[in-house]
Amino acid sequence: IGPQADNEVRRSDTIMILRHEKSSGRTALLSLPRDLWVTIPGYGETRINAAHVWGQIYNDPAGGIGLAQKTVSNLLGIPIDYTIYIDFEGFIGAIDALGGVNVNVEKELYDPNFPTMDYGYTEAHFLPGPQTMDGETALMYSRIRHPDSDFARMHRQQAVLAGVLSTLGSQNILQNLKQLEDVTTALRDYVKTDMPEERIMGLAWALRAMAPEKIEHYFLDADMISFGVGNDRWAEQALPDALDALVHDLIGD
């Protein structure tokens, strides 16, 4: 997920890997921090959130999503079959078309200067407890970080995605042609993917009955990284064996 305005592509805001095993129905999510220091194939070392935009700026033959795909695949040592990039407007529109998403806010969050998409600021405030969020609110909840950290933010992002999957199942959206059309329309201009449409529909169908509590959640968390690479003191490096352990959990060996 990332911002895009006036045809200007910017750094990715969220990097998440989803693994779904068709035979068993097992589903797992892995989140990587956007400031993780990686090697972008053919371009050198930088933060992982630059992979998509570098692919666009330098007209990489694989494009932005293709270069991001190769970067994550090389980092984790596993194949990444497909990549989906959705910008903020598409995220908002899809959740609104679903009628909102149910999320359990674990703790109170307050940011008096939350950055908006038009380069302004607004107040963001979430009270603890279950609530139904519209698209704009869900995006704000997924992006807010000043009350804690980027690492806590990754946990919130996975909670929102789990809520979306739960909504897909509870509303049986794949059999509601009008609502399915609304979601498709909301996403059409805001999504880039190399996944064929039939694969997307197949995945959505497979996940329709997935109970949120059955989804496995993995994170490259604060205790798995060190800060500082050269002059970039906020860049993050994975500790030795941290990524191997996470990939082991993700694959389920």
Residuewise pLDDT in 10s, the chain (253 residues): 667 544 566 788 999 999 999 888 899 999 999 999 999 999 999 999 999 999 999 999 999 999 999 999 999 999 999 999 998 988 998 899 888 999 999 999 999 999 988 889 999 999 999 999 999 999 999 999 988 999 999 999 999 998 887 777 666 665 665 666 777 777 777 888 888 888 887 787 777 777 778 899 999 999 999 999 999 999 999 999 999 999 999 998 6
How many Cα neighbours within 13 Å face the side chain of 146? Answer: 13
Contact 3, 13 (CB under 8 A): yes
Distance of CA 214 to the CA centre of its chain: 19
Beta bridge partners of 114: 122
Q: Is the pTM of this model over 0.85?
A: yes
60-87 b/e with 16+ CB inside 10 Å = b?
Answer: beebbbbbbbbbbbebbeeebeebebbb
- Dihedral of CA 208/199/189/155: which sign? positive
Instruction: For residues 145 and 107, give the distance between their C-alpha atoms in angstroms, rounded to a whole number.
Output: 13
